Amino acid sequence: MAQQAYMTETDNGGPGPERRGTRIRRLFERLAAGWRGDRRIWRRGLFTALVALLLSAVMAAHSHIPNAVGNLGSLIETFLPWLGLLVPVLLAVALLRRSATALIAVLVPAIVWLNLFGGLLTDKAGAGGDLTVATHNVNAGNADPAGTARSVAASGADVLALEELKASAVATYEDALAPTYKYHAVVGTVGLWSKYPMSDVDAVDIRLGWKRAMRATVTTPEGPVAVYVAHLPSVRVKLEAGFTARQRDKSADALGEAIADEQLERKILLGDLNGTMNDRALNAITSQMRSTQGAAGDGFGFSWPASFPMARIDQILVTGVEPETSWTLPATGSDHLPVAARVKVDTSAS
């Protein structure tokens, strides 16, 4: 008897592992017995099941949700990954309602979400690459431009793009980045800094009336690359107008046309696109370029807002080069997080 007591109780008199395991088994047995004896488990929770199926339809057919009213489709696509948070809520409701119908229905949105975003949950980062690039919306109201510049330069980026450059702060960024980058150019409110020679620098017309996009040829040791920097117009969510993004959409189309007309095979786009890769409004760009985060990232890589990132609107997209790894950088004085990627320019050995 003493030996049995020793096996089931701890030294301080509490229940030991065996007793706790027995209690848990008994709890599940009682729950299972209650469900087996309840003939209403298939009739309860029909509303929960309906909500689960509706959630599945929204995620699976998001591209068919019309933008005619308040750009509803684009708004949903911007925050599409977050719809997955409803799955555990619905699961909890199904368990509390003791509804077999709801439990089965909740499996559907779970499967749809995993099909859409499951690939982002795995680390696809590689160890190769011969060019590191980074982009950062530094925020015109940034109180520490010099510190921000030093922080992003410390990332080791060979090519660095900055957006939302305030005219009065440009000289500060130039001075802070000069020790790291020999070449640079600023066009309007965007700029490009490079350790390698730059040529053919020019503004890109994105139909705004002022300059927020540029293009340059960066001559890397592995060959020339066309590098685009862009800051597409901001979007707003208003009760009376919905998701207002008409100007952003027009600029995205114009940028897509410029990239499509590019003569160089290797292209990199760096910038704040004010949209995610799920947003159909960016199709003119995303249909011809790959996201480094989707191809070689670890997680969703949300970049905005910096205090609690909810969406990746700062992008590094490529064509003709191979993404190897992608990551977000530490917060600076901006409301955006910087993002960086390492790519392989010389793909001849691939």
- Higher per-residue pLDDT: 242 or 327: 327
CA atoms within 13 A on the CB side of 175: 8
Q: Does residue 18 lie within any of the structural domains?
A: no
Q: Residue 6: what pLDDT?
A: 41
Contact at 8 Å (CB) between 252 and 281? yes
Q: Residue 68: what pLDDT?
A: 78
Average pLDDT of the segment spanning 66-76 = 84
Average pLDDT of the segment spanning 254-266 = 98
Which of 86, 102, 121 marks a domain boundary? 121
Q: For residue 159, what are the β-bridge partners? A: 133, 194
Report the candidate in 345, 347, 341 with the shortest Cα–Cα distance to residue 132: 341
- The CA-CA-CA angle for residues 81, 86, 92, to 5°, reads 145
Residues of the chain above pLDDT 90, percent: 75
Q: Does residue 332 lie within any of the structural domains?
A: yes
- CATH of residue 203's domain is 3.60.10.10
Confidence of residue 69 (pLDDT cuts 50, 70, 90): confident
Residues of the chain above pLDDT 70, percent: 86
Q: Is the pLDDT of residue 35 over 60?
A: no
**Cα-Cα-Cα-Cα dihedral sign, residues 271, 276, 278, 283:** negative
- Higher per-residue pLDDT: 90 or 40: 90
Average pLDDT of the segment spanning 184-192 = 98
Q: Does residue 126 lie within any of the structural domains?
A: no
Assess whether 288 and 245 both reside in one domain: yes
Q: Is the pLDDT of residue 348 over 80?
A: no
Confidence of residue 347 (pLDDT cuts 50, 70, 90): confident
Q: Residue 7: what pLDDT?
A: 44
Which of 121, 155, 171 marks a domain boundary? 121
Domain range for 71 is 38-121
- Higher per-residue pLDDT: 154 or 32: 154
Instruction: Please state the pTM of the whole predicted model.
Output: 0.85
Assess whether 190 and 330 both reside in one domain: yes
Q: Does residue 286 lie within any of the structural domains?
A: yes
Structure tokens at 44: 């309860």
Q: Residue 17: what pLDDT?
A: 58
Contact at 8 Å (CB) between 70 and 21? no
Assess whether 146 and 241 both reside in one domain: yes
Minimum mean pLDDT among 11-15, 23-27, 197-201, 247-251: which range?
11-15
Q: Does residue 242 lie within any of the structural domains?
A: yes
- Average pLDDT, whole number, for the chain? 90
Q: Residue 181: what pLDDT?
A: 98
Average pLDDT of the segment spanning 107-115 = 97
Contact at 8 Å (CB) between 160 and 179? no
- Higher per-residue pLDDT: 265 or 209: 265
Q: What are the Cα distances from residue 70, in Å, to 6, 65, 74, 78, 243?
A: 68, 11, 9, 14, 5
Q: Is the pLDDT of residue 239 over 60?
A: no
SS3 string of the chain? CHHHHHHHECCCCCECHHHHHHHHHHHHHHHHHHHHCCHHHHCCCHHHHHHHHHHHHHHHCHHHCCCCCCCHHHHHHHCHHHHHHHHHHHHHHHHHHCCHHHHHHHHHHHHHHHHHHHHHHCECCCCCCCEEEEEEECCCCCCCHHHHHHHHHCCCCCEEEEECCCHHHHHHHHHHHCCCCCEEEEECCEEEEECCCEEEEEECCCCCCCCCEEEEEEEECCEEEEEEEEECCCCEEECCCEEECHHHHHHHHHHHHHHHCCCCCCEEEEEECCCCCCCHHHHHHHCCCEEHHHHHCECCCCCECCCCCCECCEEEEEECCEEEEEEECCCCCCCCCCEEEEEECCCCCC
Assess whether 101 and 161 both reside in one domain: no
Assess whether 108 and 172 both reside in one domain: no
Q: Does residue 60 lie within any of the structural domains?
A: yes
The number of distinct structural domains making up the chain is 2
Q: Is the pLDDT of residue 2 over 80?
A: no
Cβ atoms < 10 Å from Cβ of 242:
16
Which of 121, 151, 185 marks a domain boundary? 121
Assess whether 229 and 337 both reside in one domain: yes
Q: Residue 126: what pLDDT?
A: 85
Cβ atoms < 10 Å from Cβ of 2:
6
Assess whether 95 and 139 both reside in one domain: no
Average pLDDT of the segment spanning 319-335 = 97
Assess whether 163 and 241 both reside in one domain: yes
Assess whether 148 and 100 both reside in one domain: no
Assess whether 53 and 140 both reside in one domain: no
CA atoms within 13 A on the CB side of 284: 17
Q: Does residue 307 lie within any of the structural domains?
A: yes
Assess whether 217 and 91 both reside in one domain: no
Confidence of residue 4 (pLDDT cuts 50, 70, 90): very low
Q: Does residue 30 lie within any of the structural domains?
A: no
Average pLDDT of the segment spanning 188-209 = 97
Highest-confidence segment of 9-13, 85-89, 208-212 = 85-89
Assess whether 111 and 215 both reside in one domain: no
Contact at 8 Å (CB) between 296 and 243? no
